[in-house]
Chain A
Amino acid sequence: ILNVEQSPQSLHVQEGDSTNFTCSFPSSNFYALHWYRWETAKSPEALFVMTLNGDEKKKGRISATLNTKEGYSYLYIKGSQPEDSATYLCAFWHRPKTSYDKVIFGPGTSLSVIP
C-alpha cells in the first residue's frame, strides 16, 4: 500500500514569518508531484507540478523543491500573510509498470497565519 504523508498536520504562524512543510512519498515508480492550495469553502487549486528530481518551482512568495531519490518535497512560504491561510495538499503520481498512472493525495497541512 502506497502512503503519502505530510507534516506537520497543522501550523500556526505569525504574519510575516516564513514557514515550510513536507510531503513524503514512495521513491519508486515516481512520475510527478503536485501541490494544491485548498482554502476553506473553496476547491483545491493547483500550485505546482513537479516532475524532475531537483525541480524548484516558485510562484510569488511560495516555492517548492523536489527530491525524488529520497521521496520528499518541501513547500516554502516566505513572509506569510493571512491570505495564505489554507490547507496545502500534495498529490503523488506514480507510474506502475503494469497499470495506469495513479494519484495519491496526502492528508494535507493546515496553515493558519495570525495577523
Chain B
Amino acid sequence: NAGVTQTPKFRVLKTGQSMTLLCAQDMNHEYMYWYRQDPGMGLRLIHYSVGEGTTAKGEVPDGYNVSRLKKQNFLLGLESAAPSQTSVYFCASSYTESGGNIQYFGAGTRLSVL
C-alpha cells in the first residue's frame, strides 16, 4: 500500500518556467491538500480539494493552481515560477476535512527556483 506518493522529489526551475507537481493517493480519500513548508513557518496550506472536480483556496494560494480530475490525483501547478516559491511542498490526504480525521502525508517535493 503506497499511501501518498509525490512526484518529482526534487526540481530546479528558472524564474518564469512552469511545472506541475503530482500527488497520488491509493486510500480512496475524499480530501487532498497541498502545503508548502518554509523554515520557521510550519506547514502552510496552499489549496485543497473536497472531492473529485472541486478545489478551494487555502492560506497562501497566490501563484499556484490546482486540479482534481480524478479522485486519486491532485495536481499543483506553477505557471510562472518565482524565487519566492522555493520551498518544500507536501501533499496530504484524509477521509474528510473533519478535525477528527488525521492527514496522511507524502514524502515532499523540494523545489528551487533560481
Asked whether A105 lies within 8 Å of B44 as measured between CB atoms, the reply is: yes
**Judging by beta carbons under 8 Å apart, are A100 and B44 in contact?**
no
Interface string of B85-114 (1 = CB under 8 A from A): 000001000000111111111111000000
Quick one: which of A74-115 are within 8 Å of B by CB?
Answer: 89, 91, 93, 95, 100-108
Classify the secondary structure of B's interface with A: loop
- Which A residues, 1 to 21, have Cβ-Cβ distances below 8 Å to chain B? 4, 9
Contacts of B40 in A (CB 8 A): 9, 107
Q: Is B43 engaged at the interface, CB distance under 8 Å to the other chain?
A: yes
Whether A32 contacts B43 by the Cβ 8 Å rule is no
Q: Which residues of B contact A106 (CB under 8 A)?
A: 42
A31: Cβ under 8 A from any B Cβ: yes
Residue pairs across A and B with CB atoms within 8 Å: the count is 57
B43 and A43 contact, CB distance less than 8 A: no
Asked whether B42 lies within 8 Å of A103 as measured between CB atoms, the reply is no
Is A62 located at the chain interface by the 8 A CB criterion? no
**Separation of A4 and B35 alpha carbons in the complex (Å):** 16
Q: Chain A interface residue count: which class?
A: 20 to 34
Asked if B41 is an interface residue, CB under 8 A from chain A, the answer is yes
User: Smallest distance from the beta carbon of B101 to chain A beta carbons, Å?
Assistant: 8
In the bound assembly, the distance between CA atoms of A93 and B94 in angstroms comes to 14
Q: Is B56 an interface residue (CB 8 A)?
A: yes
A32 to B103, CA, bound (A): 13
- B interface residues with partner A (beta carbon < 8 Å): 4, 35, 40-45, 50, 56, 59, 90, 97-108
Q: 11 pairs across A/B with beta carbons < 8 Å?
A: A4-B42, A42-B107, A43-B4, A43-B104, A43-B108, A44-B43, A49-B101, A101-B99, A102-B45, A103-B99, A106-B42
